[in-house]
A and B are shown apart, each in its own frame.
Chain A
Amino acid sequence: MTKNILKMSPAFADIIPAEYRELVDNGPYGRDVGVAELGTFKELLEEHPLCAGCGLALALRIFLASLPAPEDTIVVGSTGCSSLVFPQAAVQNIHSLFGNQNSVASGLKRALKLRFPDKDKDVIVVAGDGATADIGLDMVMHSWFRRENITTIMLDNEAYANTGGQESGMSQQGTVLYMAPKGKNFPKISMPELAREAGCVYVAVGTPAQPRKLEKMLKRAIILARHVGPTYVQIMTPCPTNYKFKNNETVNRLKGLEKDGVFKPREYITAEAQEALNRLEEVSK
């Protein structure tokens, strides 16, 4: 999208909603603003209905500020808490069904390659842990096997939050949740390692408690998906509502989980992707 499309008819300027006017005058399209500039520009997300203290909300704010080209980004989501956010974000968003996000993204990315062969259109999947590691795992992995040029982002709150806090494959072993009344009896799925083996050229596990680091991971993942192959970012996003901790404790909890070794940030990159990254980061210097 050229920034030209995003403008107002002067005759209607006074009745255009304020948030839209702000987006035109001071939005991030075509500008080099990121997490460091948060608070100085109009963000893509306008309000949201997530709970106070939601880890997802914080991660999504960082995600939207990290987009290297929001004016050419389409987000493919899945049913879950995050699907409540995207209808209110100023990037195009597809919510199709629960679990089919990577298939929808595969078709979309290929379609956009046909229609815009000379342009990078970033197709980014953003979905919950249940959507990614459970119900959609087959399609997530097959999009990686096929080497689709898409970025897959998991918002990992270690539960089915939107349906009231049931166990997911990403919950920690032993955790008592709905549908795991005696505690979950198998370990958290090693999605980052599965991603690495399945063909992702870049894999990162990050936390919104370290926004700048997370931004860097997201930017790398999105740019490498354009040029090299599928990428995966798993973001730890604790859920105060279902894990029943105070909603001002989210960031502390993230830090605590990391300190205790329960949550382990990590990065994998293939030699080919590293080479591409060196080249691209050299150019952008």
Chain B
Amino acid sequence: MQKVVSPEHLFFEAPREQVFITGSEAVREAVRRANVDMAISYPITPQSESMHLVGDIFKEGYIREYFRGENEFAVMSAVAGASMGGVRVFTATGGPGTLRAFELFSTWSGARLPIVCAFMTRGVNSPLTIQPDTIEMSYLLDTGMIMLHAENAQDLYDYLLKAFPIAEQTEVHIPVGVFADGFFVTHTRENVKVAPVDIKLPPYNAYSAPVPVMDMENVPFRQMRDPFVMKSNYVSYAAHASWQQEVMAAAERARPSISSYLGGLLEVENADADILIITSGTAVSIAREAVAQAKQEGLNVGLVKIKCIRPFPTEEIRALTKNAKAVIVPEFNRVGWLAKEIKSIIPDNDKVVGAPRVFGGMTMPTQSILAEIRRCQA
């Protein structure tokens, strides 16, 4: 039997036990304490194990309903249906699975569904790859969902658990994607501090939704005189246009809670250095090591870890980069979506170095970041 406690107690006050677990196991531990009603799964490497483990805790009675869907498009549709029916849902995917389901993500936001989905990022075909790569995050940037990027298994556990109360606030009520770099996080073991197993989040309140719950327990109303898609209807156009802005505004309204639960949308070490490395996910760990090595060479380098990609910490980054001479953005993808984001928000963006970029599944050598630091110093 688990006792319901406040999110604040679960996150900040309850004693934490240190366990040596993989990222996939961290997903299980987060979901175990999240009071999830329903989880729906579909296998894809490197995500599968996490949803096996979620299946295990369903069998143990921590989740009320669980099944394997027939493909990711179907799974993301089924979690949408369940969420509209007023229950708390969880699912996970990655890489090709993300792309297969893609049409759903914008409709989750548009339908104001507080679905929490873990993305164990992986490269996309062709040629076939199962290796780590964060390119899918680039595609998801404008779907309207909140995007948190975990550096390690600890983050994955924390962000997943915190994603539920962030998503479910009435004034927010949009999906949260929690991203972790496949294999690097999912398949490696590390010390993770977790809350006791006998406490969990408060249950989801279906009527916290800012839109009608699809349960026929509230009055059905005629939604509109002419359906949105009817042609030549100014009201329809205006409704759609303003709704899109409202979804964006909902993400903006999530900033305070993301900030207080995660301790800011980003985290900084040595903010006053001339050279700043700004990155997210596991690239942060490698950059941290590069910064330490640079220090031994007498080079003063700062590190910014971005935890929240959507909404983007625009003002924070503007302020931090104001006096920096160079900004290095290492990334695990070909397109450099994070470098593009940063370039798009600061005035003197020729100082942004979109490198190193590692993709196709390789690891990122510390040396490759050090080389950029030395180049910027020269």
Contact = CB atoms under 8 A, between A and B. Distances in A.
B127 interface: no
Contacts, number: 143
A35 interface: no
Given A90-B220, A96-B107, A139-B70, A108 B77 contact: no
B215 A88 contact: no
B91 to A, nearest CB: 10
B81 A96 contact: yes
A108 B104 contact: no
Central interface residue in A96, A97, A104, by most chain B CB within 10 Å:
A104
Interface in A16-34: 19-20
A87 interface: yes
Given A84-B229, A87-B223, A115 B77 contact: no
B57 to A, nearest CB: 16
Chain B, interface residues (CB within 8 Å), range: 35 or more
Interface stretch (B48-56, B61-69, B315-323, B347-355): B61-69
B40 interface: yes
Given A84-B227, A88-B225, A107 B216 contact: no
B230 A72 contact: no
A107 B220 contact: no
Interface string B209-222: 00010111111111
A21 to B, nearest CB: 13
A83 interface: yes
Contacts of B73: 100, 103, 139
A232 B73 CA distance: 22
Nearest to B229: A84
Given A87-B227, A108-B85, A46 B214 contact: no
B220 A111 contact: no
Contacts of A46: 222
A118 to B, nearest CB: 13
Interface in B64-86: 64-65, 67, 69-71, 73-75, 77-86
A92 B227 contact: no
Contact of B80 (A19, A49, A96, A116): A96
Main secondary structure of the interface of A (DSSP, over half): helix
A138 B212 contact: no
Nearest to B40: A107
B38 interface: yes
B167 interface: no
A280 interface: no
A221 to B, nearest CB: 19
Contacts of A142: 69-70, 74
Contacts of A87: 222-224, 227-228
Contacts of A266: none
A100 B77 contact: yes
B111 interface: yes
Given A72-B216, A87-B222, A112 B69 contact: no
B37 interface: yes
A146 B215 contact: no
B86 A111 contact: yes
Contact of B227 (A1, A83, A103): A83
Contacts of B341: none
Interface in B212-267: 212, 214-230
Given A96-B77, A107-B78, A114-B65, A49 B226 contact: yes
B214 A92 contact: yes
A47 to B, nearest CB: 8
B16 to A, nearest CB: 31
Interface in A46-86: 46-47, 49, 71-74, 76, 83-84
A91 interface: yes
A85 B69 CA distance: 29
The 8 closest A-B pairs by CB, nearest first: A111-B85, A107-B81, A107-B78, A103-B77, A107-B82, A104-B81, A108-B81, A100-B77
Interface of B: 37-38, 40, 64-65, 67, 69-71, 73-75, 77-87, 89, 103-104, 107, 111, 206, 212, 214-230
9 contacts: A5-B219, A73-B216, A94-B84, A104-B84, A107-B79, A108-B214, A111-B37, A111-B84, A139-B77
